[in-house]
Structure 1
Amino acid sequence: MIKQEFGEAFKQPVEALGDNLLINYADRIENSVALLAVKDILIASVGNISVIGGKQKSRKSFFTNMLLTAYLEGEYGVITGNSNEKRPALLFDTEMGKNHVQKSLRRICRMCGLNEQHDRLKVFFLRECSIQERIEIVKTQVEKYKPGFVVIDGAVDLCANFNDIDASTNVVQCLMELSSKYNCHITTILHENKGLADSNLRGHLGTILSQKCESVIQLQKDGENTRASAVATRNIPFDDFLFKINDEGLPTILELVSVPPKPTAEDKMIKVMRLVLDEKALNYGILQKEYEEAAGVKERTAQSHIAKCLQLKIIYKSDTDDKYRCTKYR
């Protein structure tokens, strides 16, 4: 009797929650199919998500236009696509007006060598939709077209509060589920925090995306050009490359023999300090306040950076009026 009761108690259910998610040693699991690469280094595979980050006006939309072109045509400069991939590409724009969205569509078609609509490219204008409507439209159209590559410009407009952990987690989870369910890759765009010294993606949404994405690509203005860097990746990071906008309004990738090293934290500190002071003369309180705003740092960090710049002789304090100036103007 006792044996029978224990047998019933420990009897395994026919199918328990999570059984279908169990991974076994002998399972034959195919490698993720590569969709996009930079100089033959993988940046996007099916079933994964990625994020493009940068300050305002760092040409994030132009960069995704290059990714879409490479996906559709197999190549765009150093960016290559999978020639066996024939599924559609979807672009959802949540920020720009209808006229600018159409310009982006036409630009991609021109980059593909066309003067007409590309039959595998579907572009959607979502700026006037509510947050929930945008999410539902993305889900519905991904289910309808079953694309290989999806771009969402930008992620913050799918989230009610990008500084809320739960709201941010829900958005990222939705993107991961869609990419897995439809075996596609989803790339989204997110701004970096304000302040020249802070290059982190915005809010909890940016933090969670950075943790979950296959690739985190950063865009930075570099004079007249834009530098593309792999700041976080599950694969080998690609070498930085530059691109510019040519006279026809199209992005052009520049081949470089060698790319200058990325600026260090100290380089960024010095750059911001020189931008703040320039040819001005400021007392300590005003200098500290302006540096905090420009660098996006707290009071104690600003004080520490001012002291460090004094030590490095980047700035100096005048004996005549007790104001701070850049050394190069001394």
Structure 2
Amino acid sequence: MLYKSAFNDNELENYLQQGEIKASEKPDIPPQVLWVGDCTIATFGNFSASTGKAKSKKTFNITAMVAAAVINSTILNYRASFPEGKRLILYFDTEQSRFHCHNVVERIYRLAGLKLDKEDKRLHFYGLREFTPTLRIALIDYALRTFNGVGLVIIDGLRDLMYDINNAKESTDVMTMLMAWTSKYNLHIHCVLHLNKNDNNTRGHIGTELENKAETVLIISKNKQDANISEVRPMHMRDKEFNTWAFHIDDNSLPVLDVGYHITVVKPKDKPLTSLPDEIHIKVLEKLFNYNSPQRYIDMVKALSQAYAEEGYKRGDNGIKEMLKIFSERKLITRDKEGYHYNPLLW
């Protein structure tokens, strides 16, 4: 025996039979339950995720998705159709205080057109902020074993189901748990995970695992021209991808579809000055030193910046300082007590 297992042979045989896929079988097609337009974003037996940086309105986006699921209708751009007998929604928040969790519940009710003075039995909301990651997982598992007819589970704060987001074993265990829950109970789980502050990658090893195994990953981000507008776009989808859309928060603190939204066209990044041909640099330096010889460093940077701008290459101070450093290292520009000087013969 090459591998010593913690399971006995009878258990292994049972698990192996559970996992066997036969050609003669005709498995049921997983029910589609959530769409954006005609693009499927959620099916039973799978999980998906929303991701974005802090304050990008991820939770506002989730409330619209949940409200649509509660009433099997369309809210914002989310269209839901959960089958009878699978209409129960469990929402687990791992980050916010009881007060802020209640705000989320109230927002869902208002979006769904429900009265706040009566509990809707289709939605159960739980705040798990004060519990350990191990207990949070146990509570979610207990709820799934206890409630009948669950169709959608929200885990707002997937990172909080583990102690170390870069731990490979913990990440694999959490992903395995998600896949087991969705398979065993035939439901859909939607998770929320932050993006890194400095780039657009999902956080930690758990983020990489999520991108690899999730059915759909959505990115919620602030519009570059208007921070009051949040954009929703697909990062990864197994189905056809939908076009980016957007929403804003109205005076009633509810997310509203931004019907006048247009996709932001990002200008190509300007080429660095270091990539320009020598002819441009020669022209810039000749023009600069024909008129003056700057005395101070700050004056030299300002004059060099203006000279490049006049040639159509307006750049920030960092790019200008980088060029000045290169010119100085090549002795094309030198400095003495009288100021800066240009040495064109060194080209």
TM-score normalized with structure 2 length: 0.71
1:233 maps to which of 233, 237, 240? 237
SS at match of 2:138: helix
C-alpha displacement of 1:53: 0.5
Separation (CA, whole Å) in 1 of partners of 2:270 and 2:243? 21
1:32-181 equivalences under 5 Å are: 32-74=30-72, 75-82=74-81, 84-85=83-84, 86-116=86-116, 117-146=119-148, 147-181=150-184
| Partner AA of 1:69 in structure 2 | A
Q: Which amino acid aligns with 1:36?
A: L
Asked if 1 retains the 8 angstrom alpha-carbon contact of 2:82 and 2:151, the reply is no
Say if 1:312 and 1:25 are closer, same or farther in 2 by CA, change over 3 A: farther
Deviation of 1:176 after TM superposition, in Å, equals 1.2
Contact 2:161-2:174 within 8 A present in 1 as well: yes
Aligned length: 268
1:199 match: 200
Distance 1:269 1:247, change over 3 A: farther
Return the offset for 1:318: 5.6
Matched to 1:204, the amino acid is: H
State whether residues 241 and 256 of structure 1, in contact with CA within 8 Å, keep that contact through their aligned partners in structure 2: no
What is the one-letter code of the residue matched to 1:221? K
Task: Tell me how far apart the structure 2 counterparts of residues 99 and 129 of structure 1 sit (CA, whole Å).
Answer: 17
Separation in structure 1 between the aligned mates of residue 314 and residue 235 of structure 2, nearest angstrom: 31
1:17 offset after TM fit, Å?
4.8
Q: 1:312 to 1:249 in 2, by over 3 A?
A: same
Aligned partner letter, 1:178: W
Q: How much does 1:130 deviate? A: 1.1
54 and 115 in structure 1: CA distance in 2 versus 1, 3 angstrom threshold: same
Counterpart position of 2:216: 215
How far, CA to CA, are the matches of 1:268 and 1:19 in structure 2?
59
Runs of 4+ aligned structure 1 residues displaced above 6 Å come to 319-322
Q: Kindly indicate whether the alpha-carbon contact (under 8 Å) linking 1:40 and 1:80 is maintained by their aligned counterparts in 2.
A: no
State the Cα distance separating 1:26 from its structure 2 match: 2.9
Query: For residues 56 and 248 of structure 1, do their structure 2 counterparts lie closer, same or farther at Cα, with a shift above 3 Å needed?
Result: same
Partner of 2:250: 246
| Cα drift, residue 228 of structure 1 | 0.3
Q: Which of the residues 182, 185, 210 maps onto 1:182?
A: 185
Q: Deviations over 1:149-187 (max 9, x none)?
A: 010110011011001111111111111111111111001
Cα deviation for residue 77 of structure 1 reads 2.8
CA–CA separation in structure 1 for the residues paired with 2:271 and 2:42: 33
Q: Which amino acid aligns with 1:78?
A: N
Structure 2: runs of 5 or more not aligned: 1-12, 273-296, 299-311, 326-347
**Is the contact between residue 36 and residue 79 of structure 2 (CA under 8 Å) also seen in structure 1?**
yes
* AA partner of residue 62 (structure 1): F
Contact (CA 8 Å) 2:246, 2:261: kept in 1 or not?
A: no
**Alignment identity in percent?**
30
Q: Compared with structure 1, are the counterparts of its residues 83 and 184 closer, same or farther at alpha carbon in structure 2 (3 Å cutoff)?
A: closer
Structure 1 residues 312 and 153, CA, compared in 2 at 3 Å: closer, same or farther? farther
Kindly provide the amino acid, as one letter, of the partner of residue 103 in structure 1.
N
Q: Distance in 1 between matches of 2:79 and 2:97?
A: 30
Listed one character per residue, the Cα deviations across residues 246-295 of structure 1 (whole Å, up to 9, x for unaligned) are 1100011223575335x48x65999xxxxxxxxxxx99xxxxxxxxxxxx
TM-score under structure 1 normalisation?
Answer: 0.75
**Distance in 2, Cα, partners of 1:268 & 1:104:** 42
User: 3-state DSSP class of the match of 2:41?
Assistant: strand
Q: 1:17 to 1:249 in 2, by over 3 A?
A: closer
Bigger mean CA offset, 21-30 vs 166-175: 21-30
